[in-house]
Amino acid sequence: MKLKLITAFGLAAIISVVYLVISSTGDNRAVEEENEQAIKEMVHEYSTTNVEDETASITPTELIVTDSDDREVTYDLVGDDFFVSIAPYVEETHPCTYHNLTGCQGEMIEEEFDIYIENTKGEVIVDESLTSLANGFIDLWLPREETYYITIEHNGKTVDSEFSTFEDDATCITTMQLL
């Protein structure tokens, strides 16, 4: 009887520990998802708002915000999505690797583009009309660790290109000339 009681208490303790681990993991995932969404909202705000006392840039793994006193805050991009900002152009562009959300300026401001993106498996990721922001860029969050084929059309001009979303890839694409 005593052995059964000890076994029952031991089993209850193990179940409780497993439940706590699973529960805390679930809570952590929920917190991670909230943080990921908050960072995406910050990126959108920096892309769409004229900010004068801060700069913000984004690499494949970090959002880096620097204030006017050169104090830097870094936010890890830990989710499954990769940020990429594309500035299609006709005549003028600039070299860019990591997008400066508060400083990069593309040529085609608030223009509508037909965007088609598929991965190497032929799965369509984006097939819609998107409008470039006031900075001339089109911001996208795409699945990480993939290669994509993109077609951009605008007023009878087209560009076909390829890009990828691996850890060492650019977040700023300024090489897609519409012809």
Segments making up each domain of the chain, as ranges: 80-173
Task: List, for residues 113-159, the tens digit of each pLDDT value.
Answer: 999 999 999 999 999 999 999 999 999 999 999 999 999 999 999 99
SS (H, E, C) the chain: CHHHHHHHHHHHHHHHHHHHHHHHHHHHHHHHHHHHHHHHHHHHHHHHCCCCCEEEEECCCEEEEEECCCCEEEEECCCCEEEEEECCECCCCCCCCCEECCCCCCCCCCCEEEEEEEECCCCEEEEEEEECCCCCCEEEEEECCCEEEEEEEECCEEEEEEEECCCCCCCEECCCECC
Q: Is the pLDDT of residue 7 over 60?
A: no
Give the pLDDT confidence score for residue 72 in this predicted structure. 96
Give the pLDDT confidence score for residue 30 in this predicted structure. 67
Do 113 and 159 contact (CB within 8 A), yes or no? no
Query: Rounded to an integer, what distance in angstroms lies between the CA atom of residue 140 and that of residue 125?
Result: 11
Residue whose entry in the numeric block shows the structure tokens 């990429």: 84
2.60.40.3700, 3.40.640.10, 3.40.50.300, 3.60.21.10: which CATH number matches 80-173?
2.60.40.3700
- Give me the amino acid identity at 23: S
The rounded mean pLDDT for the chain is 87
- Give me the amino acid identity at 148: Y
CA 68 and chain centroid, separation: 25
Task: List, for residues 21-57, the tens digit of each pLDDT value.
Answer: 444 455 566 667 788 899 999 999 999 998 889 999 9
Q: Is the pLDDT of residue 16 over 80?
A: no
Of residues 29 and 111, more confidence is placed in: 111
Average confidence (pLDDT) over 60-89? 96
Give the pLDDT confidence score for residue 33 in this predicted structure. 76
Could you tell me which residues come within 8 angstroms of residue 64 by beta carbon, excluding any fewer than 6 positions away?
Answer: 56, 57, 58, 72, 73, 74, 75
Average confidence (pLDDT) over 63-75? 96
Give the pLDDT confidence score for residue 147 in this predicted structure. 99
Average confidence (pLDDT) over 53-68? 96
Average confidence (pLDDT) over 55-66? 97
Query: Rounded to an integer, what distance in angstroms lies between the CA atom of residue 175 and that of residue 131?
Result: 18
Q: Is the pLDDT of residue 10 over 70?
A: no
Query: Rounded to an integer, what distance in angstroms lies between the CA atom of residue 154 and that of residue 139?
Result: 17
Instruction: Please state the pTM of the whole predicted model.
Output: 0.82
